[in-house]
Amino acid sequence: MSSLPTPIPIPKPNTSRTCIKGASFSNSQCRLCLLPRQRKLVSLSIGIGCRLSSSVFDARSSLEQPEVVEETFMEWDSRNPAISSMYRCPKIPRPNQIVLEAQAKVCTGPEQTRPLTEEQAVKVLDTILKSARGELKDDEVSKAQLGAFFAAMTIRANTFPETTQWSEGERHAINLFWPQLVQVLPPDVIFIADPEGTIMGIGNFPRYTGQSMTEMRLVGALREVLAGGHLGYEEVKGVLRDVLPLGGNELQEVNESLLAAFLIGQRMNRETARELKAYCLAFDDELGPPPIADVRSLTHYGEPYDGNSRFFKSTLFVAAVRACYGESCILHGVEWMPPKGGVTEGQLLKFVGANTHLSPMQAKTLLEDEDVGFAYVSQREAHPQLHSLIGLREHIKKRPPLATSEKVQQFVRTLGKEAIVAGFYHDGYEDSLLMLMRRREVHAGLVVKGEEGSLSMTTKPRSVNASKGVPVNHCAGFRLLGRSNDSSTDGFSRTNFSIDVNAQDYGFEPTDTPRTDRSVRKSVELGLAALSGQKGPAYDRIILNAGMVDHLLGCEGAEDVQAALERAREAIDSGEALNRLRNFIKISHKVK
């Protein structure tokens, strides 16, 4: 075990401390990860790998006068690194970078796609040809990459506007390489590249049907997707449950090329409400009904699972603040997720020594604990089948529909008031997320365009050079008013709202958001300093995000914005928010 080179600044409590001694963690916990180029689940050994140093945590400590001191906070195993990219599972094969760069250009929407030049297309197709011939043993183009790339090319040829269809250079390159590629590519990839035999002209397999019953269903749905069409709710749900069966059963024998083509194709076609609803609800029963927490209010936080790569994110620390006055919060996510591979709540909690392998039932216990009041659940525990797709998602490069639907999950429920808050970045997904929240029948829903698409609103003024579209700090949502007899609705009456939050209107000084640049350590330092009462940009952002969410969700005692902000400020300045974070770390290892 080795210590970090420099200590983390944390507040020094004025009372005696109770230490956790003898804490031990399993270094052989089995996790699942679908690896491209393989057709079954592979068991990975991932351990927590940290131990607490002496005199660290005290569940009863207080901060009468916040003070930041230098102190060794933890001793860390190398498996708890300080940079987000190092949380990537090393067992996942790296994608071929030449093809991946091309996927970044073409595996996207009708307006965002950037056609390849002839030189770029030749380089990509030559790489694919060499890989298919077995000449790139250490840098293969995976089947998932082949499926995603050729699905994008097919959809562009079939349905995209002229400006984002194939360029002349791409057409020339295809004409040059296809006669050779068709000799070495497997039938499933040839099918994806030309499902009806109308694009390439030679050597096609338009009657390809798949090699199993599961593949046959997937191929049938994929034909519609590759033609630019959409599927019904039951059809999408059926395909997903075929490929990723519930109950811990092994993944079905399907080619990664077909699944990758299906996922990226649905995103490129812009998922309908029915399709997104299927992705959102298909795995609700994976572990049975969610546990019911005995709390009066519960907010589900849906951060983008791929995290932040540039700026400080406040959500973990906001949850500790809101828990102080009875607004229980449940966070969910993963340790590492492509394409961004940024800092996540899972990394932050693991870095400070918390147990991030909690089941939903254990999360329920932490939510009900009067000294904690918030919890974190990893997708690894809550939706293991979806978690098994991380490797495949890296190889398709762009975000699939799951990147939207996974933000609107309820791994724990309550009989009290429930709300969902989700972050977004790209225009067009605001309404989709709110639709999914209404489908969840929560009392309130809120979408936030925070920095990097996260939930973190900023105190930085909007630049005059900001891009067009929805500005950062845009919020929209609804609050439930009651039941409705209107047959044109879903049976509920709601009030809707939309606002662009200007922090200066509420007394905050304009400040730039602290840069963290993938540093988990820096993010932790900023958050701990803020919760210790150290004034500055991170402190302001935590208060802004806690108070504004309370107000917009219609939480009790937050009808007035300034009162909501002052309540959040008091939770920090009293030391209670920091104590709750300490308590979470401590109790997360003891909860049964």
CB-CB contact of 77 with 32 (8 Å): no
Cα 327 to the chain's mean position, in Å? 23
As a whole number, the mean pLDDT across the chain is 86
pLDDT one-digit tens code per residue, 139-176: 999 999 999 999 999 999 999 999 999 999 999 999 99
Q: How far apart are CA 424 and CA 438, in angstroms?
A: 17
Domain 296-587 has CATH 3.40.1030.10: yes
291-313 in b/e form (b: 16+ CB < 10 A) is bebebebbbbbbbbbbbbeebbb
User: What integer pLDDT is reported at residue 254 of this predicted model?
Assistant: 87
The CA-atom distances, in angstroms, between 86 and each of 30, 81, 144, 509, 523 are 19, 6, 23, 35, 15
CB-CB contact of 293 with 412 (8 Å): yes
Q: What's the whole-model pTM score?
A: 0.86
CB-CB contact of 267 with 200 (8 Å): no
User: What integer pLDDT is reported at residue 427 of this predicted model?
Assistant: 85
Q: Is the peptide bond before 339 cis (omega within 30 degrees of 0)?
A: yes
Write out the residue limits of the CATH 3.40.1030.10 domain(s) in the chain.
Answer: 296-587
Give the tokens for residue 219: 């191929």
User: What integer pLDDT is reported at residue 181 of this predicted model?
Assistant: 97
- What does the angle CA 522 – CA 525 – CA 527 come to, to the nearest 5 degrees? 110
Regions of the chain short of the pLDDT cut 70: 1-79, 203-206, 245-252, 464-467, 483-491
321-357 in b/e form (b: 16+ CB < 10 A) is bbbbbebbbbbbbbbbbbbbbbbbbbbbbbbbbbbbb
Phi and psi, residue 311, nearest 5°: -110, 155
User: What integer pLDDT is reported at residue 462 of this predicted model?
Assistant: 80
Sign of CA dihedral 308, 313, 317, 318: negative
User: What integer pLDDT is reported at residue 16 of this predicted model?
Assistant: 31
User: What integer pLDDT is reported at residue 288 of this predicted model?
Assistant: 87
Q: What share of the chain is helix, strand, coil (3-state, %, to 5)?
A: 40, 15, 45
Count the Cβ atoms, other than its own, within 10 Å of residue 22: 7
Count the Cβ atoms, other than its own, within 10 Å of residue 136: 16
